[in-house]
Structure 1
Amino acid sequence: MLYLTMVLAFITSILLTPIVKRIAFRVGAVDRPNYRKVHARIMPRLGGLAIFGSFLIAYFILKPQDPISNAIEASFIPIETAIIIGALLIIITGVLDDMYEISAKAKLLGQLVAAGIVVVGGGLEISFINLPFGGVLDFGYLSIPLTILWIVGITNAINLIDGLDGLAAGVSTVALLTLAAMAFIMGDVYVMSMAALLAASTSGFLVYNFHPAKIFMGDTGALFLGFMISVLALMGFKNVTVVALIIPIIMLGVPISDTFFAIVRRVREKKSISEADKSHLHHCLLNIGFSHSQTVLIIYGIAALFGLAALLFSQATLWGGILLISVMLVAIELFVEVVGLAGKNYRPLLNLVKFIGK
């Protein structure tokens, strides 16, 4: 049944996207070119509505349920209901921003309320973690704000990488497929089903969003995908160990690392952390000579490597996991150095990077 519903979500997304495109032009939800944008013509936004609509249709047909949702003591409403309500609020926030470009504070407020519905209303929170060498770290009163911070942080991380045709949609699809695979291994049918349906919906949208894009997902799509990925990642690792919490961080390595470096860069340059710039990973790859499609495909590949690393980490021993993380950190640092040097016209290194990119 899941496979048939995934096919339905994929086809529905393909059918809904052109309709949403016409609606976007009609209501003025368009993205105009400027010095920071890569595209050179007016593009319709709101594409996230097609992803959300196709996912919602498939969701109500399949009706996946979390078997332990009713056992969550702090839950006021079933977690499944809380997620859908939170997602709907995120969609409304995104639509308002795509149409009227609301302030960063207003967007943040919408995200906080949506996260609060899931955490406070649905009872989804990480209250403690078991430390790898013994003992327990109890978050106490910080458990709710820390869980909300995770949801809002990942939501914005996906939004930040939405800078090239098909980039955020493709990276999100890779993350969702990784999440579905890990949920399958752990026997979590609910998370597996939700992630798989989202991946199918996003893949259908990619038919129109990959370069050259005919429509953008806008904040409607980026915020929705970020919200859903953050929530499902938390639900997928309920055994509250340090290892379990590291897995989703590895899985979302591309948006998290890009956001981390963006914050460091803006703090160093004494700018607001919410101020946009053209120094994200995709901008750097474009600057050193890769084409639009090559840049997107390279980042897809990096996201897939992070996903594979997360799968390996979930099956590794403690020391094997530590070794894997160490190798990953060294690899990230080397990649950052390579891109940085290549961007300064270090020709031999640039040629090597281009060769690997092929």
Structure 2
Amino acid sequence: MQSDVAQLLQYYLGYLAFLSFFGCLIIIALARVFPRLRGRGDDENAVQSMHLRPTPRIGGVAIFIALACSVVFVPDTIVQDYVGFIVATALLFLVGLSEDLGYRVSPRRRLLAVCVASLIVIELFGVWLPRIGVPYFDQLMPYWMIGVPFTLLITAGVSNGFNLIDGVNGLSALTAIGAAVSLALISQQAGQGVMVGLCMMLAAVVFGFFVLNFPFGLIFLGDAGAYTIGFILCWFGIAVLIVSPAVSAWAILLTLFWPLADTLFAMYRRSRSNRDAMAPDRLHFHQLAMRGLEICFLGRKRRRIANPLTTLVLAPFVILPQIVGVLLWDNNRAAFLAVLAFLAAFFGSYLVAMPAVRAFRQRFVS
């Protein structure tokens, strides 16, 4: 019986991956005829741009359509709730899509859309982040005036984090696939069969996109895709915490560590320089890694190689916290200490790498 269920799940996953892949192929073909699908004409000149040629930035359309079709495969007991969740996510998706199509939507309005979508989910299901893994403070989380703001802050941070790392071929998709699979493994250990299926369906949908995004960057998630994936992953993590009290909130955070750490460091970096927290820059970890590869090894005119190579270089650092989160899924103290260790490693390596690249450039390149 279990083997039959596993085979059926594999069929569903294969179907969703193909649907996402085929949808991306159609978008790539249409983008050659309709320039609007490639976003604004000045995207390649943006300060945070990581690619050199006009590229479709609406991979999120194929992903959202595939996710909407996944309603067919969810258990009957949760169909109504799942549809409601997809409808709430649609608001965020549409706001992000407007930006991808060239209609300027400020970062603050996009984050506001994340918060509104989260409030819709909270209103529909009457739930929010149940705990953060801190003794005594967790007793306050059931009160909406404490729990709801924390939920909005976390969902906005994770959603924005996935958008920040979308410019490197495969990095955002790889992070999302790893997070979804990690949440599925945690759900399996916690005995949450339904969540296992939901997380794996999300992983399959993103994988269909990943095949065309890495290594050649034929299509990108765009704001619609990145915000949608981050939002769904965050709420899946919250759902796991709600259903299973044994699961550590810090273990869930480890599955989403990289986008959260990047967001936190960006806020810290900009506050130190008295800049707008929402202002784009070229100082994210992945951007530093790519420029380091160009300066130290490949040369400045090798962006097409440096871009996907950056994902390969960073992949172990993205995946390792997720593996640790799975291993420490029910050990709150150890998961908390792991988060501190990874944060120290993230910030420390950044602070060491930047002057090292500058010194190399001055000595060997100048």
Q: Equivalent pairs: percent with the same residue?
A: 26
Following the alignment from structure 2 to structure 1, what is the Cα–Cα distance between the partners of residues 159 and 337? 29
Of residues 50, 61, 72, the one that matches 1:61 is 72
Counterpart for residue 266 of structure 1: 270
Matches within 5 A, 1:144-293: 144-238=148-242, 244-289=248-293, 291-293=306-308
Matches within 5 A, 1:1-358: 1-24=8-31, 26=34, 28-31=36-39, 32-36=43-47, 37-57=49-69, 59-64=70-75, 79-99=81-101, 100-127=103-130, 132=135, 136-138=139-141, 140=143, 141-238=145-242, 244-289=248-293, 291-316=306-331, 320-321=334-335, 323-345=337-359
C-alpha deviation, 1:169, in angstroms: 1.1
Are the structure 2 counterparts of residues 279 and 3 from structure 1 closer, same or farther at C-alpha, using a change threshold of 3 Å? same
C-alpha deviation, 1:170, in angstroms: 1.3
Letter in 2 for 1:299: L
C-alpha deviation, 1:257, in angstroms: 0.8
Following the alignment from structure 1 to structure 2, what is the Cα–Cα distance between the partners of residues 22 and 91? 22
- Secondary structure of 1:314 counterpart: coil
Deviation digits for residues 116-164 of structure 1 (CA, Å, limit 9, x no counterpart): 1111222221355675589834452222222122222211111111121
Quick check: 170-179 or 139-148, which moved more?
139-148
Following the alignment from structure 1 to structure 2, what is the Cα–Cα distance between the partners of residues 132 and 109? 30
Contact 1:131 1:241 in 2 (8 A): no
C-alpha deviation, 1:27, in angstroms: 6.3
Report the number of matched residues. Answer: 337
Deviation digits for residues 310-356 of structure 1 (CA, Å, limit 9, x no counterpart): 0122144x554455445434433442344234223259xx9xxxxxx
Following the alignment from structure 1 to structure 2, what is the Cα–Cα distance between the partners of residues 221 and 103? 16
| Aligned-residue RMSD, C-alpha | 2.7
C-alpha deviation, 1:64, in angstroms: 3.5
Are the structure 2 counterparts of residues 321 and 33 from structure 1 closer, same or farther at C-alpha, using a change threshold of 3 Å? closer
TM, length-normalised to structure 2: 0.83
Following the alignment from structure 1 to structure 2, what is the Cα–Cα distance between the partners of residues 82 and 314? 28
C-alpha deviation, 1:210, in angstroms: 0.9
Structure 1 spans left out of the alignment, 5+ residues: 70-77, 351-358
C-alpha deviation, 1:211, in angstroms: 2.5
Following the alignment from structure 2 to structure 1, what is the Cα–Cα distance between the partners of residues 209 and 119? 29
Structure 2 spans left out of the alignment, 5+ residues: 1-7, 295-305
TM, length-normalised to structure 1: 0.85
Counterpart for residue 72 of structure 1: none
Following the alignment from structure 1 to structure 2, what is the Cα–Cα distance between the partners of residues 134 and 104? 31
Are the structure 2 counterparts of residues 113 and 23 from structure 1 closer, same or farther at C-alpha, using a change threshold of 3 Å? farther
